[in-house]
């Protein structure tokens, strides 16, 4: 088993929604011990939330799909959003060297 780093982009939130929900989002990610070193950062220029998480596994594709599900769960619980469309995109799923 190796560490797999997954990076996810989440779009559809505005800056006010992110500012209000970010503390809860980070807390919810930290409450999942299988998510190693979760980091979340708002990029105001691209109006997207960038999330980076490591997990332990063998298959980067499988790990990234699981991480994306966890990020989705946490985001839906943490943020009040006005958009009808929130998009979650896996940007990277690579073994940590």
Pairwise CA distance, residues 17 & 23, whole Å: 11
Phi/psi at 29 (5° precision) = -65, -45
Q: Is 8 exposed, middle or buried (0-12, 13-18, 19+ CB in 10 A)?
A: buried
What average pLDDT values come out for the chain (97 residues) when binned by 10 residues?
96 94 98 97 96 97 97 96 88 94
Predicted confidence at residue 12, as pLDDT, reads 93
Predicted confidence at residue 84, as pLDDT, reads 77
Pairwise CA distance, residues 72 & 2, whole Å: 24
Pairwise CA distance, residues 19 & 56, whole Å: 30
Pairwise CA distance, residues 33 & 24, whole Å: 16
């Amino acid at each position: 088993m190796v560490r797999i780093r997954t990076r996810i982009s989440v779009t559809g939130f505005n800056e006010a929604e992110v500012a209000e929900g970010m503390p809860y989002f980070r807390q919810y990610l930290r409450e999942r011990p299988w998510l190693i070193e979760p980091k979340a950062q708002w990029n105001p220029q691209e109006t997207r939330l960038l999330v980076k998480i490591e997990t332990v596994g063998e298959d980067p594709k499988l790990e990234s799909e699981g991480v994306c599900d966890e990020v989705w769960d946490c985001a839906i619980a943490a943020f009040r959003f006005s958009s009808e469309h929130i998009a979650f995109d896996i940007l990277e799923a690579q073994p940590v060297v």
